[in-house]
Chains A and B, each alone.
Chain A
Amino acid sequence: GAGVSQSPRYKVAKRGQDVALRCDPISGHVSLFWYQQALGQGPEFLTYFQNEAQLDKSGLPSDRFFAERPEGSVSTLKIQRTQQEDSAVYLCASSPRGGANTGELFFGEGSRLTVL
Chain B
Amino acid sequence: DAKTTQPTSMDCAEGRAANLPCNHSTISGNEYVYWYRQIHSQGPQYIIHGLKNNETNEMASLIITEDRKSSTLILPHATLRDTAVYYCINAGNMLTFGGGTRLMVKP
Q: Give A contacts to B, CB under 8 Å.
A: 4, 33, 35, 41-45, 48, 56, 91, 93, 99-110
Contacts and interface: CB of A to CB of B under 8 A. Distances in A.
Interface stretch (B42-50, B59-67, B74-82): B42-50
B4 to A, nearest CB: 11
Interface of B: 32, 34, 41-46, 49, 85, 87, 89, 91-100
Contact of A103 (B41, B42, B89): B89
Contacts of A104: 34, 46, 49
Q: Is the interface of A mostly helix, strand, loop or mixed?
A: loop
Contacts of A48: 93-94
8 contacts: A4-B43, A42-B97, A44-B97, A45-B95, A91-B44, A101-B92, A101-B93, A104-B46
